[in-house]
Amino acid sequence: MCPIGGAAIDAVGDPLPAETTASCEHCDAVFLGAVGGPKWSDPTAAVRPEQGLLRLRALLGVYANLRPVKVINELIPASPLKAAKLAGVDLVVVRELTGGIYFGEKTHDETSASDLCTYHSHEIERIVRVAARLAAKRRGKLCSVDKANVLETSRLWRRVTDRIMSSEFPSIELETQLVDAAAMHLLSRPAEFDVIVTENMFGDILTDEASMLAGSLGMLPSASLGESSRGLYEPIHGSAPDIAGKGIANPCGAIASAAMLLRHSLGLHDDANAVDNAITRAIVAGNRTADIAAQGDRVLSTDAMTDCIIGELVQDP
């Protein structure tokens, strides 16, 4: 276990200490708890928890962030969307993770500020290939999301995507959508999406939106991958400071992230499926944390929900 983020700032003044870097570099996989919180939220602070996470992603070279969104029928009542829209929703967002505006040069003075957004062709090529290969194993549909009507980086994104898809993946059905339209279509026709590929910030925002299809931000896992099998695994949610310490956080996204770790970094596909199935069975059996509970449901604590999932896993591995 290694410190990162606020805990690391408190301990040594660095959100990604050298000992954490060294350990992560020598691992097959990194399982991450969220960083950040009100204690370290001073916008004028030179050192911030999120810097640790961005540096770790860059260090590991994990440029492809896979965020699956699958609706479990029993959780449809937990979503604010109508049931008819949610049936059959099973999509993956492939978010570019180490480029774009989050990594660009930042400047500010008293009255102005700037965040530079840059993409290079090779960064787009490699993420589009990851997404297209994934689509080939699924329903064969790829939707590339950009803002090509306004942004130069998006116009490059679209040109490169068109070139890679037509030359290397001609059998994959490619659709392009502007990010504002995609945000709407995620709510109006979510079941039509198979794989979505998009740049860093758009993917960050769209997946928080998409989490509501699955019932809660607490349900969604993620895997961040690069050229090797080494990966970084974390639920898509943050540190949830508003519920911290209350014992009510949904553990499903974190546990499903562990399943992705078993699958992608360790090649333990049966074990990964067993963990995913245990989560589903626990939910089908009626176990709920507060964020996914409908009226009349029995509400469990984080520990009790975790015990239910472990119980399912042990009973039927």
Which residues make up the interface to ligand NAD (CB under 6 A)? 34-37, 50, 53, 216-218, 234, 237-243, 249-250, 253, 291
208 is catalytic: yes
147 is catalytic: yes
The continuous run of DSSP H or E covering 195 comes out as strand 195-198
Q: Contacts by 42-49 with C-beta closer than 8 Å and gap 24+?
A: 47/9, 47/13, 47/14, 47/15, 48/15, 49/4, 49/5, 49/6, 49/8, 49/9, 49/15
Q: Which of 146, 147, 194, 291 is catalytic?
A: 147
Q: Which is nearer to ligand NAD, 37 or 311 (CB)?
A: 37
Q: Which is nearer to ligand NAD, 189 or 246 (CB)?
A: 246
CB of 259 to ligand NAD, least distance (A): 16
CB of 252 to ligand NAD, least distance (A): 8
CB of 191 to ligand NAD, least distance (A): 24
Distances (CA, A) of 297 to 80, 283, 293: 16, 11, 6
Q: Which of 180, 246, 303, 316 is catalytic?
A: 180
307 is catalytic: no
Q: How far apart are CA 197 and CA 132, in angstroms?
A: 9
Q: Which is nearer to ligand NAD, 157 or 202 (CB)?
A: 202
Angle among Cα 215, 198, 56 to the nearest 5 degrees reads 85
204 is catalytic: yes
102 is catalytic: yes
Q: Which is nearer to ligand NAD, 75 or 143 (CB)?
A: 75
Q: What is the 8-class DSSP label of residue 78? A: G
CB of 199 to ligand NAD, least distance (A): 17
Q: Which of 204, 233, 276, 291 is catalytic?
A: 204
For 50, the token pair is 């999120």
Q: Which of 102, 119, 194, 233 is catalytic?
A: 102
Q: How far apart are CA 161 and CA 155, in angstroms?
A: 10
The continuous run of DSSP H or E covering 203 comes out as helix 200-211
Residue 303's identity, in one-letter code, is D
CB of 213 to ligand NAD, least distance (A): 15
Q: Which is nearer to ligand NAD, 105 or 242 (CB)?
A: 242
Residue 216's identity, in one-letter code, is S
Question: Among all residues, which ones are annotated catalytic?
Answer: 102, 147, 180, 204, 208
